[in-house]
Structure 1
Amino acid sequence: MTIPGAAELRARIAVRRRDFVVDIALDLAPGETVAVMGRSGAGKSTLLGALAGLTPLDEGEISVDGRVLDRAPRLRTAPMERGIVLLGQEARLFPHLTARENVAFGPRSAGVPASVARSLADEWLDRVGLPGTGDRRPARLSGGEQQRVAVARALAAEPRVVLLDEPLVALDAVTASEIRAMLLERLAGVTTVAVTHDAIDAAALADRLVIVERGRVTQEGPVREVLSVPATDVAARIAGLERLEGVARGGAFVRGQLRLESTDATSLALARTEGMALAAVFPASAVRLGEGTPALVSHLEPTPTGVRVVTDHGAAEVPPAEAASIRPGDTVLVSIAAERVRFAAAS
């Protein structure tokens, strides 16, 4: 069976939206997977639409292995002729076709004889964990099975580049975990751009992470590096961390009355540069209430395991009983253990 080839993707897309311009440059090495994350409405789906040929460029250029697909304003290659497939939140299988015929659609469209295409389809169904399901129509498949068929259909078309638009978001946690593991295996060596809201997906699937805010890239780098030292508040929320900005004073981070220390060697080196703008990053679980620096409570947020008490010095995650007597506008004392804090240069 032919495995999709690894291709180099180079793109600079500029698309004008009502309130801002999505202006993003992406360069992917052959076989690289890049995750794209950001708030809803930041421009992630616009990026995928442009790469897939569904959204025209106002400016920019897209090329795969040196072949220019789009160059605004005159050159635009049709979606079916790009060698790029988009796998979205919905499987969008042809309801009147069996799973086998759905998967065989791409090869048959490319001129592969029907018998060969069907044989390839059965092989791909085996590869995505659905042996013996070729005769079933989508209505007889579960949501997770339909998404597996969609993956098989996408890869059977032998794409040069695969685009993932949150394909796990509509699945339950167990099924999403299974599909994530399958994607990790089947997309190995395939050039992939994966849009997701889930840091777990980014860490599991991607080599590199790009953070997009209001149509612009605000941070990019190795996934774990970006998630461990987020450069913006948006990136911090994605990573599940708190981020405060302050300055280096006396080998520590200072923000108003709040003084934080760190045991991390890189952080300590930064903090020795007196007056340097710093960002302090830490998990909300590291924040303790009841002693330390006064902080003003802005609001409380329920979580699956307790309550986030959000203050002007970051948020603390506490049990419901501990938050029961706290109200917005209250002043609480906060402290953060030095071993849980990291510093980074702030822009």
Structure 2
Amino acid sequence: MSDHRFPCESCGAQLLFTPGQTTLTCPYCGQEQTIPEGDAAERRNALREIDFVSTLARMEEAADHEETRILACPNCGAQTEFPEGVQATTCPFCATPLVAAHAGTHRHIRPAAIIPFVLDEAQALRAMREWLGQLWFAPGGLKDYARAERRMTGIYVPYWTFDAATETAYRGQRGDNYTVSRMVIRNGKPTTVTEIRIRWRAVRGRVARAFDDVLVLASQGLPRAHTDALEPWDLTALRPYRPDYLSGFLAEGYQLGLREGFVIAREKMDRVIEQDIRHDIGGDHQRITEKATEIRDVTFKHVLLPVWMAAYRYRNRSFRFVVNGQTGKVQGERPWSGWKIALAILAALLLAGLAGWGYQWGVENGYISP
């Protein structure tokens, strides 16, 4: 990871990015510095879609790189920056203690665009507390954690976005329901019953889909299920990347490469294409026996998205909570309280036993017909 420092011209303290604003502010003397927006050409260049095929061949030579002093967390794999002079810290992703003895360097491609933080730490804490307060069977310590004035870490998380045009030829079967009636004997009496059956017929066709900004997490420090649950992001808020937005925050370098990222993007695209095929087949049931997808005009962007993070340790395990720094949506792992679950099961059994006893008593005393 890397952080960026901008000294105040008046007192020399570090200027910090203000979430929801376009300024850097000195926390001591209050001096403000406006972050340049850049001209229209710079914005178009930062947000342009980059050709995927040609870039794979030349990206290492053509892209801007930067190096940071990092240590990979032995627990979650996240790469944490170690500034000069720091010998020990904790991993912001899972709260595992880290020491600088085995720190190395990480060379990575600079991002092209960024969504700056909209929510500040206080707003993220409120969102997390509300989410934690709704959890059933959580340990009491977790609720104490939610009420305490805990710090959260603001991290810009790396993503790839992919665009592509696809066309898929398919073969399959369409199933349409129909009903038949027949006579059966039940309890010695003839009864008419209705059955639903399926009439299948072979189908074939083509579907086309243009994909725009398919997001793929490029970090290994966060569970993909958590970050996927933070979607949707408003990608129209992307701005050209400037280090100013990182002041006071961390920015993780990507660990999932471009090729690997596109594999995941294709899996997302394939799921959408399958739904398109089923819709195109129509009917009540669909079988897809064969499909072949042609993909072209693949482009990508490397972007940073804002996430507030907290880690809670319970019984020697780390549980992470993440808050979308743009929308306030919360997702996370959660510990379960064994004794609360056992108490709930015991209460349910007790209620079931009382209900059974009440039924039996009612039958025996003539209040309930057996």
TM-score (norm 1): 0.23
Structure number with larger C-alpha Rg: 2
- Which structure has the higher relative contact order (CA within 8 Å, separation 6+)? 2
